[in-house]
Amino acid sequence: MSDRAGAARWLSIHDDLLRGLAHAMSNRVATVSAAASLFDEQTLPHLDVLEGLRGEAERLGALLLALRLLPRRGDGALEPMMASDAVHAALTLIAHHPEFRNIACRLDPGHDVPPIRAEPGAVAHALCAALCAATRIARAARLDGVLVHIESTGSEVHVYVTAEGAHAGVDAGEETVLDATAATWLLSASHAHAKVVDGGCVLVFPTLAASRQRQ
């Protein structure tokens, strides 16, 4: 598919994530307003109310951090990074997707893989596209959730984003192809790409060493 199709797909995912974050922030603001209405200038707030307000302030701070992950930097510089760092950022964002809040997504821990050279924001966004594909498959097949697995093969790092328990040959469908196209479009400056696999997508990056050799 074309770059235009990839860009259009990412814009759709971006808008869904922005809508989810706005909804979560609206809920937090409503809770703070309700707590503040329990006392006036002449009444000291109850300790429980103060604790509740502190908790809401922390949640608002976390939402603000997530919101800052969302804008795309067209001129973002490539830098050495660990793929797992971008996975954590993507998991933070996808938790606010309106369609996929009830699908558990997790990173398979404990894999020693080399760093890559990429634009961190673009990698996180590409992973969001891949997570959309895998969560859609998981929901349709009534599977437990989504697993992100990172492994290294020679000069490449592969990040698999798949529905847990998806059987071989599962029909990915056009939606998954579009999500992979969006991920590839986002990763173009990082010399990486995405492709459809059983149960979701895999993102393929040159290792940092391979990227330096290419230069």
pLDDT for 23 beyond 80 = yes
pLDDT for 59 beyond 70 = yes
* Position 50 confidence tier, pLDDT thresholds 50, 70, 90: low
In this prediction, residue 171 carries a pLDDT of: 58
Mean pLDDT of the chain: 86
Above pLDDT 90, what percent of the chain? Answer: 51
Phi-psi region of 125 (alpha: psi -120 to 50; beta: other; left: phi over 0): alpha
Between these two residues, 75 and 65, which has the higher pLDDT value?
65
What amino acid occupies position 189?
Answer: A
In this prediction, residue 6 carries a pLDDT of: 87
In this prediction, residue 152 carries a pLDDT of: 94
In this prediction, residue 79 carries a pLDDT of: 93
Residue whose pair of structure tokens reads 């307003």 in the numeric block: 33
Query: pLDDT digits over 159-196, tens only?
Result: 999 999 876 556 568 899 999 999 999 999 999 999 99
In this prediction, residue 66 carries a pLDDT of: 82
What lies within 8 Å, CB to CB, of 195 at 6+ separation is 180, 184, 201, 202, 204
pLDDT for 70 beyond 60 = yes
pLDDT for 115 beyond 70 = yes
Query: pLDDT digits over 116-164, tens only?
Result: 999 999 999 999 999 999 999 999 888 889 999 999 988 999 999 999 9
Locate all alpha helices (DSSP H) within 37-162, ordered by sequence.
47-68, 83-94, 120-141
Q: Residue 25 and residue 56: Cα distance in Å, rounded?
A: 10
What lies within 8 Å, CB to CB, of 46 at 6+ separation is 38, 39
* Position 27 confidence tier, pLDDT thresholds 50, 70, 90: confident
Give the chain's domains with CATH numbers.
1-71+78-215 (3.30.565.10)
In this prediction, residue 2 carries a pLDDT of: 66
pLDDT for 48 beyond 80 = no
In this prediction, residue 36 carries a pLDDT of: 66
